[in-house]
Amino acid sequence: MTHLSTEQHDEQMASMKAFDEQMPCVGIFWYDPNDNTLFGVRKQEVTPKMAEEAAEKGLPFINYPHLHRQVLAKEFFKAQATHEETKFKGDYTKIPRGRVTWTIDKFIVLVGHWAEPILDQFSALLEEEFSLPYFEFRYDEHWDLGHGWSGDMK
């Protein structure tokens, strides 16, 4: 049996890393209609093992653990402190946004009706950014412009 030297091992690992693809992800995003881009993307990978464990525990979905309003506030204050220009300003519900979740058998992209006219180009952005092999859109008033999390209404 031949053993690799430490240098050969490191070279092999570096070579393999080039083939490492991002797993499909859940997360949140904002959409900039001026330049047809996603921004403020926050995501985490979902592995088959995570999906199987969630299903075994009877969990209906895997979700990203942060809210848009929390991320926007953090980014706004960070930009303010560093005197940088930012897209993170104003009311977070006035900026097109959405969430990618996973359910027992599929990825769901939750968006408002603002996304309907741009579904083709928008789908391509989401597929690439979140490495989604398949997904379906679900529209909900919560994601429409001017609407937000029910906790904001108290």
What residues does each domain of the chain span?
A: 25-153
DSSP state of 150: G
Quick check: 97 and 64 in contact, CB under 8 A? no
Quick check: 149 and 138 in contact, CB under 8 A? no
Q: What pTM does this model have? A: 0.80
15-70 per-position pLDDT tens digit:
666 656 788 999 999 999 999 999 999 999 998 888 888 888 888 889 999 988 88
Report how far residue 150's alpha carbon sits from residue 102's, in angstroms, rounded to the nearest whole number: 21
